[in-house]
Chains A and B, each alone.
Chain A
Amino acid sequence: MSATGTIIQTYESLKKAAVGKVEALKQKPLVLVGTATCGRAAGALNVLQTFRNEISCRNLDVEVKEVGCIGHCYAEPVVIIAKPGFPALCYGSVDEGMAGRLVVDFLINDDPCYEFAMAALEPNDQFPTFADFPRGVYEKKIILADCGLIDPEDIDHYLAHDGYAALAKALTMDPAEVLEEIKNSKLRGRGGAGFPTGLKWEACRNASGNQKYVICNADEGDPGAFMDRAILESNPHQVLEGLIIAAYTVGAGQGYIYVRAEYPLAVARIRTALEQAREKRLLGESILGSNFNFDIKIFQGSGAFVCGEETSLIASIEGFAGVPNHRPPYPAQAGLHRKPTVINNVKTLSYVPHIIRNGSGWFKSIGTPDSPGTAVFALAGKVVSTGLAEVPMGTTLRTLVYDVGNGIKEDKPFKAVQIGGPSGGCLPESALDLSIDFDSLQQAGAMMGSGGLVVLDEDDCMVEIARFFLDFTQKESCGKCTFCRLGTKQMLDILTEITEGRGKPEDIDLLWELAEDIKAGSLCGLGKTAPNPVLTTIRYFRHEYEAHIQEGRCPALMCKELISYAIIPEKCSKLCNVCIGSCPVEAIYTRDDMLKAIYLDKCVKCNSCMVACPPQYKAVVKVSPPIVEKGGS
C-alpha cells in the first residue's frame, strides 16, 4: 500500500473507534462540569462531587465528565446536561444545591429546570440557543469552538470532532504544499506582533541544517489575559496538532511547549494529552505510519514576563537567565541551540488544523483582508459578561464591549478599554468604533497584544492604571538595557508622585520625553512597548493627570492619598451600625447624636464600610481632594 494510503487508513481507524466511543456516550444522560481553573475558583469541584455522589447513591446510569471552559466565566461554575430526548442544556452559576435539584428533577424526573438554564447547545423547539443572544450572533468560534464541550483528558473526544484529520491530510501532502496553504491563508501570529506565520515557517524551512525545532509559546505573561490557559486546559490536542503540522512543514524533529508554571492545571492536561497522542502514534516515531518522526517536551517557565520574548524564551530553555538577545539572526535562522527554530503562540498554532482542514480560502473569508480569521479576547474588568470571546477580526470594540460583553456593570458610564496588556494602551470612548485588527489598534497607539481586554469605568483612575503597568514592566525589565532599566524606574517614580499628590506641572512633558527615549533605546519588545500605557493615557486622558497635579484630586476617587472616606449625616440611618462592624481598624464611631463618623487618622481606606453600608442608605462616600482635619479634634 502507498504511504498515503497507510496514513489515511491509520487515521480512519483511530477516528472510527473514537466516534464509536463518543456515540455510545450519547445513548445515556451525560453531565459535563467545567473544571478549568476559573470554574474551580468558583467552586466547580464541589459541584462535580455533588453530581457524582447524588448519581451514585441513587444508582443512576449517568456519565459525569470534566470539561474545560466554554468562555462564560461570569456564570461559573457552568454545567452542561445532555439527556436523550432533550436538547443539551447549559446551566450557569450552579451550586451544590442546584446540582442536587438537577439530578432529581431532570435526570430522574424529566423536568429540565428551564428556569435555571442559560441556553441550549443546538437548535430545538423548546429553548433558545447561544446563537439567539447578541453574544452568539457576534461571536464566531473557530479555536474556541470545542472548548468546554469535549473532554480535554480524552483524546477520543478530539478525534471524534475531526481532531487530527488535518494532520493526516498534511502528512499526505508535500511539506511545501502545506507551507503554501498557510502562506495563502495570511495567518498572522496571535502572540502580539501579528507577524505572518507562513513567512516565519518559510524562513525556518529554507534555513540550512537538518536539526530544527518548533516551540509553542504558552508563557502568557500579560497580567490580564487568560486565553492561552483556557485553550490549553480545554482543548490541548488542538494545539499539539498545530505544532506537529508546523514541525512537519519546517522539518523539525523536536518540539517544546513553553508554559507558565503558574498554570499547573494546563501543564497537567498537556502532559496527559502528550501521553495519549504517543499511545495512538500521533506523536513519536513514524507518525500515523508515515516516515515523519517528531516528539514534544514540556518546559515550565518560571514567572518572568520577558521570557515570552522569543530570544529570552530560548535562553530560558537552554538553562540561562531569560535575557533577550539581538535579532537578527532571527530564531527562524538560528534559535534554540543555534538551530533554526519556529516559535508560535498557542492561538496561532490552534488555527493551523482548521486552515489545513478547511482551506486557506475559507480562513480568508473571515475577518478583514489584512487580518483574516478571528480574534480571541479575555474580557475582564467592569464588563457584565466577563470571559472568553472569539469574534471575527474587524468587529468594533463597541460590539465587543456592549453586545458580546453585555455592557458595563451597574450601567455605569464607559471610560476606557485597556487592550494589549503592558505593551498596549488605554483607548477612550471615541475609539469604540475602531475595528479590531492588528493595524488599526497599532495606529491608535495600542496593540492587539495577546488579547487581554480590561474594561474600565468611571471608578478607574487612568493615572493609576498607567502607574500599575509601569510598576509591572519596571519589575520585569531584565535590566540589560539602561533605558529600559532606569527609564521605566524614573517614569514609575514620577507616576507614583502624581498619584500621591506630589506631581509637578512639568511632569507630563517629562514623562513624554522619557517614553520616547525608552522606546528608542531598548533592545526588546518589553522596553520598546513599556511606555504605551503612559503615552495613551496622556494622549486620551490628559485632564486626569492635570486634576491630580493641579488640584490634588483624583477624578475616579481611586488614588488613596487623594481621597477621604466620609459618612453623609443626612443619609446615615443612625440605627444600623453595619459600618462599625465592617471596619477592620475601629475607625468608625457613633457620635452623641447617634450619627456615625470616621476618625480620618485611623482610617486605612479599605473600602469595607462603603461596601457594607446598606443600599437603601448609601451613606458612605469618598471625597477628593481629601478632607484635611483641622488641628485638634
Chain B
Amino acid sequence: MELQGGEAEMIYAEVEGVLQRHGLEREKLIPILQDVQSKLGYLPKEAMQQISEALRIPEVDVYSVGTFYNQFRLNPPGKHQIKVCMGTACHMMGGHIILESFERRLGIKEGETTPDREFSLERVACVGCCALAPVVVVDEKVEAKVSPIRVDGILLAFEIESKKSGEIEKLVEEEGRTQ
C-alpha cells in the first residue's frame, strides 16, 4: 500500500512514542504492536520495520507475531468497524444470516473494507454476550439480538449521520462564502 504525504512521518512519530513508553525488551513486542494498532488502526509495514530495528529482532519475527494473532490487521480499517459475532450461541441464533446481510448491504465480504473506506466488516468469536445473541459490535458498541432488519437500521443511521454532517459542512461552506 502506498502511504500518502506526511503519513510516513506520522507513523514514525507514533511508533517512536509507543516504543519509548514500553521500553525495548522482547517481552514488550505484543503490547507494543497492540498500542501501535490502537493508535493507527492497523500495523503498517513501516511500523513493523521500525519496531524490529528498535527491539533488535528480525523483521520476520515481528511479522510472524503480527500475522499469528487474529487481533492484528495489516491494512487500514474502515471509518466504522462492524464486527459480527460468530461464537457458538450467535451462530446458532442466526449470526451467519446477519453476516450475510451485512455482506449483501455493503457489497463486501467479511475481512474487507468498502472502497470508500467507510465500513469494514469482520467476524469475531464471542464477545461475551451470548445470552443476547446474535450480537454485532459496531464501533465498540454492542448491539443485541440483531435481525436482518436491524442491519438495515444500523447502516441507515450511519447514512443519515454522514448526510447530516455533509449538509452541515455545506452550510458552513455557504456561510463562509456569503460573508
What is A's interface to B at a CB cutoff of 8 Å?
37-38, 40-42, 73-74, 76, 220-226, 229-230, 261-264, 299-300, 302-305, 316-323, 378-382, 386-387, 418, 421, 452, 454, 456, 460, 465, 468-469, 472, 478, 582, 584-585, 604, 606-608, 611
Contact = CB atoms under 8 A, between A and B. Distances in A.
A321 B65 contact: yes
A223 B87 contact: yes
Contact of B126 (A74, A223, A264, A316): A223
Contact of A73 (B88, B105, B124, B131): B131
B91 to A, nearest CB: 5
B94 interface: yes
Contacts of B144: 38, 41-42
A583 to B, nearest CB: 9
11 contacts: A41-B135, A73-B132, A76-B131, A223-B86, A224-B88, A262-B126, A302-B30, A322-B68, A378-B131, A468-B91, A478-B68
A37 B127 contact: yes
A222 B148 contact: no
Contacts of B25: 319
A221 B69 CA distance: 13
Interface class of chain B by DSSP = helix
A611 to B, nearest CB: 7
B133 A380 contact: yes
A386 B131 contact: yes
B16 interface: no
Contact of B70 (A40, A299, A303, A469): A303
A607 B135 contact: no
Contacts of A380: 88-89, 130-131, 133
Given A73-B131, A223-B86, A224-B126, 17 more contacts: A37-B142, A41-B143, A42-B144, A222-B126, A223-B87, A224-B130, A303-B125, A380-B89, A381-B133, A421-B88, A454-B89, A465-B92, A468-B91, A468-B92, A469-B88, A584-B105, A585-B104
B143 A584 contact: no
Contacts of B114: none
A231 to B, nearest CB: 11
Given A223-B126, A607-B148, A41 B70 contact: no
A224 B104 contact: no
B94 A41 contact: no
B87 to A, nearest CB: 4
Contacts of B72: 302
A604 to B, nearest CB: 7
A223 B88 contact: yes
A452 B147 contact: no
Q: Which of B26, B29, B70, B89 has the most CB of A within 10 A?
A: B89
Nearest to A233: B128
Contacts of B128: 37-38, 220, 226, 229-230, 262-263
A404 B132 CA distance: 18
B101 A606 contact: yes
Contacts of B105: 584
Contacts of B70: 302-304
B124 A262 contact: yes
Contacts of B92: 381-382, 454, 456, 460, 465, 468
Contacts of A472: 125
B89 A302 contact: no
B104 to A, nearest CB: 7
A542 B140 CA distance: 41
Interface in B64-89: 64-65, 68-72, 86-89
Contact of B88 (A316, A322, A454): A454
Contact of B130 (A302, A323, A378): A378
Contacts of A230: 128
Given A41-B132, A223-B126, A607 B68 contact: no
A578 B104 CA distance: 21
Contact of A226 (B69, B101, B126, B149): B126
B100 interface: yes
B65 A304 contact: no
A382 B147 CA distance: 17
Contact of B89 (A261, A299, A381, A606): A381
Nearest to B29: A319
Interface string B32-56: 0110000000000000000000000
B27 interface: yes
Interface in B99-123: 100-101, 104-105
A321 B148 CA distance: 37
Nearest to A478: B68
Given A226-B130, A303-B71, A607 B94 contact: yes
A262 B127 contact: yes
A224 B131 contact: no
Nearest to B93: A381
B168 interface: no
Given A38-B129, A381-B89, A386-B131, A606 B97 contact: yes
